[in-house]
């Protein structure tokens, strides 16, 4: 019965929100591609074949090769691992930390809330890419530093959304009953408030995935993100910039399509998930 109910809800979601279903399908394909990259990729992503440098798309190299003779298709497949690792890690960590800050501010209120919110607003005044660039200038290049640099700008954005949800939950009768029973602040926050902000939390994680992937690609393209020889879509665009734009356009076209498809999929899937989980936006079936 539980499985049947979930299948009915999934079917209804696909029927009512076809764009969201397409985004979810692309998301699943990307996940399986990243997990099975060792078996799907026809060539090792970091092995140079100097005899096949700048080969156009052919039967041997489906998407051609780059200036070092590396197979573009294989590097795109392995690049999905980098994109998902950075995207999931930064969006999840940023949303978790933002949720904790938002719940604390909503629960205690007063001067603590005012001071923290003013600081969050200062951080929000900077675009995500600008904050990420500033963090990379301090931390230096590297995969872990990229995750940290993208996580930090996401914290204030998540904190404000979760805080607004937690404010309405704080005034609920069951929270007042928990206080009357003598439960401590930690138990009330983690047992009665945090579980009830799960829906906006899930929506934020999904919605921020696309932005995190795009930011990682931008940082790598600018030369301050993931470093060679790690396969990353932004690095592939950087290697194709200007010098090979006319002689080998496939070096930029295919990584650009991969980035566009991933960002498009996560954005429309996040929007559809928000509409599905938010009772105010949910349409009747």
pLDDT > 80? residue 26: yes
Q: Of 132, 124, 187, 193, give the one whose Cα is nearest residue 160.
A: 124
What is the per-residue pLDDT across 173-224, written as a single tens digit (0 to 9) for each? 878 787 788 777 788 887 878 888 888 888 888 888 888 999 998 888 888 8
DSSP H helices in the chain: 2-16, 18-35, 37-40, 72-108, 110-124, 128-139, 143-170, 173-180, 185-188, 198-221, 233-240, 250-277
DSSP classification of residue 191 = I
Q: Which two tokens stand for residue 144?
A: 């872990």
Band (266; pLDDT cuts 50, 70, 90): confident
- How many of the other CB atoms lie within 10 Å of CB of 144? 10
In angstroms, the Cα distances linking 126 to 123, 177, 272 are 6, 41, 27
pLDDT of residue 284: 43
- Judge whether residue 145 has pLDDT over 50: yes
- Mean pLDDT lowest for which of 10-14, 73-77, 160-164? 10-14
pLDDT at 74: 93
Q: 229 preceded by cis ω (within 30°)?
A: yes
pLDDT in tens, 242-258: 677 777 888 888 999 99
Q: How far is C-alpha 158 from the chain's CA centre? A: 13
Burial class (CB in 10 A: 0-12, 13-18, 19+), 214: buried
The percentage of the chain sitting over the pLDDT mark of 70, rounded to a whole number, equals 94
Alpha-carbon distances, residue 197 vs 9, 104, 157, 177, 190 (angstroms) = 21, 13, 15, 19, 11
The residue with greater pLDDT, 71 or 227, is 71
What pLDDT is recorded for position 149? Answer: 92
Listed range (76-80, 154-158, 278-282) with the worst mean pLDDT: 278-282
Mean per-residue pLDDT, 121-148: 88
Mean pLDDT of the chain: 84
pLDDT of residue 77: 94
In whole angstroms, give the CA distance from residue 13 to residue 263. Answer: 20
Distance CA 129, CA 150 (A): 8
15 has a pLDDT exceeding 70: yes
Q: For position 283, what pLDDT does the model report?
A: 47
pLDDT at 278: 63
Nearest residue to 113 (alpha-carbon basis) of 162, 153, 151 = 162
- Residue 242's pLDDT is what? 65
pLDDT at 73 over 80: yes
Q: How many other CB atoms are found less than 10 A from the CB of residue 115?
A: 11
Q: What is the mean pLDDT of residues 97-111?
A: 87
- Which of 241, 234, 238, 225 is closest to 258 using CA atoms? 234
Q: So what's the pLDDT on residue 78?
A: 94
All structural domains of the chain:
18-41+67-277 (1.10.3720.10)
- In eight-state DSSP terms, residue 64 is -
Distance CA(272)–CA(22), nearest Å, equals 10
CA atoms within 13 A on the CB side of 181: 10
């Amino acid at each position: 019965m539980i499985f049947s109910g979930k299948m009915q809800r999934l079917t209804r979601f696909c029927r009512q929100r076809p764009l969201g279903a397409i985004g979810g399908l692309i998301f699943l394909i990307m996940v399986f591609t990243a997990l099975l990259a060792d078996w799907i990729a026809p060539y090792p992503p970091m092995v140079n074949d100097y005899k096949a440098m700048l080969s156009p798309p052919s039967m041997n190299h489906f998407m051609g090769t780059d200036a070092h003779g590396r197979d573009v298709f294989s590097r795109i497949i392995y690049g999905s691992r980098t994109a998902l690792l950075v995207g999931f890690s930064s969006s999840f960590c940023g949303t978790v930390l933002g949720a904790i800050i938002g719940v604390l501010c909503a629960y205690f209120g007063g001067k603590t809330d005012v001071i923290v919110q003013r600081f969050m607003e200062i951080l929000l005044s900077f675009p995500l890419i600008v904050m990420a660039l500033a963090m990379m200038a301090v931390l230096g290049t590297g995969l872990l530093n990229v995750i940290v640099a993208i996580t930090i700008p996401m914290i204030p954005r998540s904190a404000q959304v979760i805080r607004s949800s937690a404010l309405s939950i704080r005034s609920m009768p069951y929270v007042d009953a928990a206080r009357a029973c003598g439960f401590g602040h930690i138990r009330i926050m983690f047992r009665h408030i945090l579980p009830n902000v799960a829906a906006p939390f899930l929506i934020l994680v999904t919605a921020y995935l696309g932005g995190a992937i795009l930011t990682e690609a931008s940082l790598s393209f600018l030369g301050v993100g993931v470093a060679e020889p790690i396969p990353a879509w932004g690095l592939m665009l950087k290697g194709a910039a200007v010098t090979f734009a006319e002689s080998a356009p496939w070096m930029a076209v295919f990584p650009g399509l991969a980035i566009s498809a991933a960002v498009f999929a996560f954005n429309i899937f996040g929007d559809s998930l928000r509409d599905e989980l938010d009772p105010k936006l949910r349409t009747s079936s």
